[in-house]
Amino acid sequence: MSLKNKKIIIGITGGIASYKVCELIRLLVKNGADVRVILTPNAKEFITETTLSTLTKNPVYCEQFNPKEWKPEHISLADDTDLFVLVPASANTIGKIANGICDNLLTSVVAAFSKDIILAPAMNCNMWENSFIQQNIKKLEQHNYQIIRPESGNLACGYEGVGRLADVQTIFDAIVKNFEKKKLLSGKKILITAGGTKEPIDPVRYIGNHSSGKMGIAIADAAYNYGADVALVSTVDINKPYSVVKTNTALEMYESVKGHFSSADVLIMTAAVADFRPVDFCKNKIKKEKKDALVVELVKNPDILKEMAAIKTLQQTVVGFCAESENVTDYALKKLDEKNLDFIVANDISLPDRGFNSDYNEVTIIDKNKKQYKLAKQAKQELAYLILRYIFKIKDFDNG
């Protein structure tokens, strides 16, 4: 793929692997990219501005504020770029980014950057395995940062283990793939629901479930990264670059989904919607004094998935999720037929370390022709891409 007219920022932090960035820049420029470089102050101990400006044919940035410019440097650089690649990413800078610290130009640009960010860490193996570093990596991944994990080998510090910067070609391929994937679902409008609804009994108590919303949010992230126009109806309060509608109850979710459905190409219902809600809401907290039992009368909630599938057009696709603890495939097939779905994604919530509240899942996708495709246990972020590729029949979907 040509990178012509693609504007890319390369952020370089202080580390011995900095010298490898020169080859990455050469590949990017050769393929038509307009490359700008931002250095941290410590990076200047390892690589010179002269080398980098010669390779990019552009100025190299390091100072937080340039008094000659009316617009702050970190804002102007962030606004005028398609992709930010941080390579090598040191433990120090990863920690700053994960916690919103903006004490130099590089971290300030990252904080102001609203598009895709790729990080390629490099550090001592013990540092990489440090639990705080891993927590920061996980935190960044949950916020849509792409991490190109370091490789195992002999390190400059004399140790051997995981920490060596990923191969330059691997990083270059990830950059190219980032631009390619933006085209896969371009022009598609995808409506996604996530989280478990909460049906209030009184101002303190509610009927709910264990759904964390992680799978739905991962699918929304993946769809956005594939270039789709995404609307997420979520019971989880999150900040994303796509449209997010916060709801709490099943009725609120129903109204929101109904309002968005007509313009959607695909509806993906991952939300765990409560089947019932209390008939009456007590305005004051119910007291337990002199009560050995409490009876709450319930009424059925709308079946959002079934109702949307009933009014879908021939051009629309409706996808349901099915969380079961037994006879998973049988129940999934029954729901597929009863609700007139195009696909159903079934998962067994009785299995350990997957499903509700876990970062991992293991699912089976079943289409309306009863064809089944099993996806082994893996991170929900990875599953999300595979599910979308299967639904949209993207070539080589099983390769991610």
Contact 388, 220 (CB under 8 A): no
- Which position has the token pair 């629901």? 193
Could you tell me whether strands 189-194 and 229-234 are parallel, antiparallel, or unpaired per DSSP bridges? parallel
> Which helix (H) or strand (E) segment is 52 a member of?
helix 49-56
Could you tell me whether strands 317-324 and 229-234 are parallel, antiparallel, or unpaired per DSSP bridges? unpaired
Give dist(CA 388, CA 397) in Å, integer. 8
| HSE (side-chain half, CA atoms, 13 Å) at 315 | 8
Q: Which is nearest to 209 in space by CA: 268, 277, 274?
A: 274
Give dist(CA 197, CA 248) in Å, integer. 5
Give dist(CA 266, CA 93) in Å, integer. 39
Structure tokens at 289: 């004094």
Could you tell me whether strands 360-367 and 372-379 are parallel, antiparallel, or unpaired per DSSP bridges? antiparallel
Does residue 157 carry a catalytic annotation? yes
Give dist(CA 164, CA 138) in Å, integer. 19
Give dist(CA 349, CA 342) in Å, integer. 22
Structure tokens at 112: 């102001």
Could you say which DSSP state residue 222 is in? H
CB atoms within 10 A of CB 201: 18
Q: Which of 22, 125, 157, 322 is catalytic?
A: 157
Structure tokens at 367: 């289409």
As annotated, the active-site residues are 157
